[in-house]
Structure formats: C-alpha cells, structure tokens
Amino acid sequence: MREDDPAPSSRKRWGAVNNDTQTTATRAERPATFTWQPPFWLVVAVVFLLTLLVRVYVLGVYGIPSSSMESTLNPGDRVIVSKWSGGSGIARGDIVVFDGESTFGPVPGAESGPVEKLLGKLEGHEPRSVYVKRVIGVGGDRIVCCDAGGKITVNGKAINEPYVYAGNPPSEQKFDITVPPGRLWLMGDHRSQSADSRAHLGSPGGGTVAVDDVIGPVMFRYWPLNRIGAVGS
C-alpha cells in the first residue's frame, strides 16, 4: 500500500457518504405526482351532455301511443330508433318514425310533456306530429289497392303482408298512386285503425311523406320486458 492512499475504512466512509448524497439528490429531483379528480357536478354535467347528444343525433327513444301498428307494436311499447341514418337506405317493409307535421298533422289527442317539448325543439320537430308506420312504397313505385285476390300490388306484383293485423284486409280503401321521387307511401299494420297515407290522399304530397322527414328506422323494442327484442321488417 502506498503511504498517500487513504485507509480502507476512510474509502468506505467516503463512498457511503457519496451514495447518500446521490440518493438525496435523486429524491429531490423527482417531480411531485399530481392527480386531479373532477368535481361530482362536472361528471354529472358531462354525462348529461353526452346522453343528450346521443338522444338527439344517434338514438331516439319513443313510446307507441296508439293501436295503428298492432300487433307488431302495441300501445305502451317503447322503442329505440336509429337517427344516425335518418331516411337514407330506407326500403319497403321498414318501420320508420317520421315527422308528419307538414303532411299528416298532429296526432289526434296526443299530448307532449315538458321534456318531450324540449327534445322536440332540439331535434327540430313537434312531438305531437311524430308517427310510426311501415314503408309500403318508395319513390317511383306504383301502388294499387287491390288486385283480384284483394292484395296490394307494388309495380304490378302482389305483396305478401304477414304483419297485417289478424282479420284485417290489406285495405278497404281503394287507391292507385305513383310515389314521387324522394317520398314514401306509409301504412300502419292495423289497417282498420291506422290513419296513414290512405287518409291523406288529398293532403300536400298526396299522402306521401318526404324521405327527409324520416327520423329513423325502428331498431329495437326495450319495453315491455316480455316483448323485448329487435323490430324487423
């Protein structure tokens, strides 16, 4: 050992002090962690806003007020409507919710609560003028009631309608109409109880409804629980 070398014990003590100094410096350099928890009222407000946006622009919830769509949809049923697609892609047989203010007028006896009125303003339609019917014809179709067998024909071909309410004929009212482009001919499944396109032949549009007035197709029934499930054509 050289005389100028520090004693082993001195080197160990110096190393220990140096390590302690580094550890202390490292601890001092670490940034303090910061966690932010939003206040409860802000969480509620964001959830409410998101729910409102979904309700207005994506999925609508509607109650069935009358028997015009029995037995497919009964009074008191609650359904979910796809607003995302609106009237695009609508085909014969689809069940749609639409704004009939400019064609069918307000639903007789319908009442709107304050929440429905608010949503109606946000959605751009009068809740009392919202209808649900089945698409029988689209733009360009010639629809006639009825052929020799008592069936409705579309473009000369009789259509099969298993959804028509039991005991009802396809229609007791005769008609022969060609649906204008961009419009729909709509009828209820409970034909004897439905004031549909047939009842508005003398109204603007000749009983047809503009595709742009369609809010969306009915996708799903969530109430009552014993009838929960998809609502198809």
Q: Please give the pLDDT value at position 58.
A: 86
Q: Please give the pLDDT value at position 52.
A: 76
Domain-embedded: residue 51: no
Domain-embedded: residue 26: no
Q: Please give the pLDDT value at position 85.
A: 82
Number of separate domains in the chain:
1
Domain-embedded: residue 181: yes
Q: Which domain holds residue 108?
A: 61-230
Domain-embedded: residue 104: yes
What does the alpha-carbon distance between residue 187 and residue 133 come to, in Å, rounded to a whole number? Answer: 5
Domain-embedded: residue 135: yes
Per-block average pLDDT, block size 10, for the chain (233 residues)?
50 48 52 79 88 82 93 96 90 96 76 62 71 98 97 98 97 97 98 96 91 96 96 75
- Global pTM reads 0.77
- How buried is residue 163: exposed, middle or buried, by Cβ count under 10 Å (0-12/13-18/19+)? middle
Q: Please give the pLDDT value at position 123.
A: 66
What does the alpha-carbon distance between residue 165 and residue 227 come to, in Å, rounded to a whole number? Answer: 17
Task: Provide the CATH number for the domain around residue 137.
Answer: 2.10.109.10
- The catalytic site residues sit at 68, 133
Domain-embedded: residue 2: no
Domain-embedded: residue 6: no
Contacts of residue 179, defined as CB under 8 A and 6 or more positions apart, other chains included, come to: 137, 138, 139, 140, 141, 142, 143, 185, 208
Domain-embedded: residue 15: no
Cβ contact 101:125 at 8 Å: yes
Contacts of residue 184, defined as CB under 8 A and 6 or more positions apart, other chains included, come to: 90, 96, 135, 137, 138, 139, 208, 209, 210, 211, 214
Q: Please give the pLDDT value at position 34.
A: 72
